[in-house]
Amino acid sequence: MKAEVATAVNFITTLLRGTGLLSEEQLQHFSHSLEETLGEHYEDHWFPDAPFRGSGYRCIRIDHKMDPLVGKAAYTIGLSRKQLLSLLPSQLTMWVDPYEVSYRIGENGSIGVLYESKPPPETHPNSVVSCKLRLGHSRTVMNVSS
């Protein structure tokens, strides 16, 4: 989850940096605050074995309203949601999912992928290896005598 959240935060911070209206100190503080906020928000809604489960909950949406999580981070550097809306694209959607972070600017814009990775093979929930690892079992040989 850390890589995906860091990617999303970096993308939004880069958009803000491009305006030239915020100091590097403000950007760093915003970035740190947003990373903490997203991490806490996604903690119980992160399902690596079913990456699209909870996707709507993890979606960051900025249109005529500011996404509340991004707005919360902006507040820590003294920006109102209205000010932040003027600094970011008017229609931005980001999907922060296990193994992929993507975005779209505009309702009809194409989707860009910011981060993509493959799940480790042992994360499949029905995998025998995965079950053994979770239970902490290893192979045991038993001799039975009569």
Residue-wise pLDDT for 55-105, tens only, equals: 999 999 999 899 999 999 999 999 998 999 999 998 999 999 999 999 999
Average pLDDT, the chain: 87
Structural domains in the chain (count): 1
Domain of 101, CATH number, reads: 3.90.640.90
Q: What's the one-letter identity of residue 103?
A: Y
Q: Is residue 137 part of a domain?
A: no
Q: Is residue 135 part of a domain?
A: no
Q: Is residue 47 part of a domain?
A: yes
Q: How far is CA 2 from CA 17, 28, 90, in A?
A: 22, 17, 27
Q: Is residue 73 part of a domain?
A: yes
| DSSP labels, 33-93 | HHHHHHHHHHGGG--TTSTTTTHHHH-EEESSS--HHHHHHHHTTT--HHHHHHHS-SSEE
Local confidence band at 133 (pLDDT 50, 70, 90 cut-offs) = very low
Q: Is the pTM above the cut of 0.85?
A: no
SS3 (DSSP) at 137: coil
Kindly tell me if the per-residue pLDDT of 144 is higher than 90: no
Q: Is residue 136 part of a domain?
A: no
Domain with 21 in it = 2-118
Kindly tell me if the per-residue pLDDT of 39 is higher than 60: yes
Distance CA 31, CA 35 (A): 6
Q: Is residue 8 part of a domain?
A: yes
Q: Is residue 128 part of a domain?
A: no
